[in-house]
A and B are shown apart, each in its own frame.
Chain A
């Protein structure tokens, strides 16, 4: 997982509560990403950020929010507006917007009941 961390590994919340997932990297990478992974659906892009203080919606941004106040950090908030929040969430980073390899964190499994 080389230099990108996510915490916690498992997270449990009650329906109607907002929850924030942490993602930190020490690779000095400019770009960071959040993906959601569900069985049989691969990885779907939620939000991405190319530089500090800038971010864009991905394919499934509804019910999520992000911030990018520091280069090293890209927290994801799962709001109560997300209809089906239970999933495995993966954060990734890459060296620049047009670069190639994305380095993934270990993921956070969120369960909302």
Chain B
């Protein structure tokens, strides 16, 4: 089955710096890759996703890149702000029939003012 590895487990940056979180997946048939943000005591919320027919997607300060050959995808946050502090999860799934989302183990991002 699918396995998703996520690194780093914790990431500390200064406000205004960029942050990059990386994930690798094992199932070459996976073609949907979402990123979720979870604030303390709350449920995760989707912030951006990418499908395998594109290599990069951007939404304001966040972007996701996908390298299908290497089976890895990354989340990039530019101009970080204290409110970006949260736990971020990557996930992967096939987009055929009913396939479950497989999540990475999460990255705790701390943005210091």
In the complex, the answer to whether A98 meets B43 with C-beta atoms within 8 Å is no
Which one of B42, B45, B49, B103 lies within 8 Å of A42 (CB-CB)? B103
* A interface footprint on B41-63 (CB within 8 Å = 1, 0 otherwise): 11111100100000000000000
CB-based A-B contact count at 8 angstroms? 55
Looking at A6, A40, A42, A44, which has the most chain B CB atoms within 10 Å of its CB? Answer: A42
User: Quick check: B44 and A98 within 8 Å, CB to CB?
Assistant: no
Chain B: minimal CB distance from A38 (Å): 10
Cross-chain contact of B98 among A40, A92, A97 (Cβ < 8 A): A97
Q: Which of chain A's residues have a CB closer than 8 A to the CB of B96?
A: 98
B108: shortest Cβ distance to chain A, in Å? 10
- Given A41-B105, A42-B104: A98 and B41 interface contact (C-beta under 8 Å): no
Known: A40-B9, A100-B34, A104-B44. Contact between A45 and B100, CB under 8 A?
A: yes
A32 at the A/B interface (Cβ < 8 Å)?
A: no
For A100, list chain B residues within 8 Å (CB). 32, 34, 49, 95
Q: Is there an interface contact between A98 and B98, defined as CB atoms closer than 8 Å?
A: yes
Q: How far is the CA of A31 from the CA of B97 in the complex (A)?
A: 13
Q: Which of B42, B97, B103 contacts A97 (CB 8 A)?
A: B97
Contacts A97-B97, A97-B98 hold; do A106 and B42 have CB atoms under 8 A apart?
A: yes
Question: B93: shortest Cβ distance to chain A, in Å?
Answer: 8
Binding site for B on A (CB under 8 A): 1, 6, 31, 40-45, 48, 50, 58, 90, 92, 97-98, 100-107
